[in-house]
Structures are given as C-alpha cells and as structure tokens.
C-alpha cells in the first residue's frame, strides 16, 4: 500500500486535522508515514497545504514530487486547482465546491469548476452544505475526509478511530457529529463510484 496525498485549503478550515486523523489511522495499521506542511500559514484566510505520504514500505522523502500525488484533497475549489500540477495522470481530485472568497480577484466559479472537471477523475460537491445538513457547519473537513476515504486503502473503522483520537477531548457529542459528517462524505463518493462503474 502506498498513497501520496496533497491536502489543501485555507487557514481555519481544519485541513491539518485531516492529516492528523489519517496519521493516527496509519499508525494503527502499522504503516509508515511522512508529513510536511510545505506552504502557507495556518492563520485564518492564509492558504494551507500539506503533503501526506502513507506506505507499507519505508518512505524516503516527505515531499510529493510534481505529477506524483494520488489524491489532491481540498476544502476550497481554487486551492484544488492550484495543486493540479502535483496530480498523477491516474490521480483523483476530491474537493469542496463552496468557495472561500478571501481575495478581490477571486476567479469566476464557473471557470474554476470547468478546469477541475476537465481533469476527469473528480469528486466535487458542496461539502459545507452537507456538513450543515448532517452534523454541523464546522464539520465540512470531516465530510471532505469521508469523500476522500474510498481512495485510501485503510479500514474505515481505523479512520473513525483517528477521529475519536483527535476530537475525543472535546466530548462524545463532537466526536459523534464528526463521525456522522465523515460517513456522509464517504457514502457520497461510494455512490458516485458505483454509478460510474454501473
């Protein structure tokens, strides 16, 4: 098993929580793990990007080369677009379609989505909306994690254990809410992939 994931978003969205949860799940599965926060500032509004490499074999570098990512996972569509050069030819983009408009010259959403869809292997939907419906507005990062999970060869129960580890101190209700959001995102992608096969 080997997967290279570029995680992208904006500070305050909880992108690094995803890396922490997947890291905890990887350790539970006795996998090797390297992570690098390559770019960005974690204050609200700054772009945040992290390289996460998980493998059953030792990993030499913590950086993913251009064209080497199996997954670009983003909570912000323009940030997903920014990291397309890192995507491998068979890689997948999993992204939120709700923009975080923090700059005056934010591009037209239609052209952003058009460029993303042109990549072919894309799972894109409004994760903010789904989070509000099933859990809480603050859990869109867990919807994103769930939506990306079918591409990661890890037991879902191990990822859910990672969620419990990361949010456990905040109480059972918060853990349950985040697991609910994770499951909703996962279900969405599984359904989409089944439709594509069918």
Rounded mean pLDDT of 11-31? 90
pLDDT above 70: percentage of residues in the chain: 95
pLDDT above 90: percentage of residues in the chain: 79
Look over the chain and give the mean of its residue pLDDT values, rounded to a whole number. Answer: 92
For residue 87, what pLDDT is reported? 97
42 pLDDT above the threshold of 50: no
Contact between 75 and 7 under an 8 Å Cβ cutoff? The reply is no
Res. 39 pLDDT band, cuts 50 70 90: low
Cα–Cα distance between 94 and 124 in angstroms, integer? 6
pLDDT tens per residue, range 101-124: 777 778 888 998 999 999 999 999
pLDDT tens per residue, range 44-64: 556 788 999 999 999 999 999
By three-state DSSP, how is residue 127 classified?
A: helix
For residue 197, what pLDDT is reported? 86
pLDDT tens per residue, range 5-15: 999 988 778 88
Alpha-carbon torsion angle 72, 77, 79, 80, nearest 10: 20
For residue 100, what pLDDT is reported? 81
Q: Which of 18-32, 63-77, 94-108, 121-135 has the lowest mean pLDDT?
A: 94-108
Q: Say how many C-beta atoms besides its own lie within 10 A of residue 170's C-beta.
A: 11
For residue 40, what pLDDT is reported? 52
Strand order in the sheet with 2-10: 32-40, 47-55, 2-10, 69-74, 87-96, 122-125
Cα–Cα distance between 130 and 127 in angstroms, integer? 5
The residue that leads in pLDDT, 161 or 196, is: 161
């Amino acid at each position: 098993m080997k997967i290279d994931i570029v995680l992208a978003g904006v500070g305050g969205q909880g992108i690094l929580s995803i890396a922490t949860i997947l890291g905890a799940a990887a350790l539970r599965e006795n996998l090797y793990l390297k992570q690098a926060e390559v770019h960005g500032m974690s204050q609200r509004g700054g772009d945040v990007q992290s390289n996460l490499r998980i493998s059953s074999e030792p990993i030499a570098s913590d950086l993913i080369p251009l064209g080497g990512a199996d997954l670009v996972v983003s909570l912000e569509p323009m940030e997903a677009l920014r990291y397309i050069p890192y995507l491998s030819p068979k890689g997948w983009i999993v992204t939120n379609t709700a923009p975080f408009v923090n700059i005056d010259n934010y591009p037209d959403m239609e052209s952003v989505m058009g460029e993303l869809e042109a990549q072919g292997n894309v799972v894109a939907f409004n994760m903010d909306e789904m989070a509000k419906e099933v859990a809480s507005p603050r859990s869109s990062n867990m919807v994103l994690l769930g939506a990306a999970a079918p591409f990661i060869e890890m037991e879902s129960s191990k990822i859910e254990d990672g969620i419990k580890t990361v949010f456990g101190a905040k109480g059972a209700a918060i853990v349950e809410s985040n697991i609910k959001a994770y499951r909703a995102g996962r279900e969405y992608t599984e359904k989409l992939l089944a439709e594509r096969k069918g």
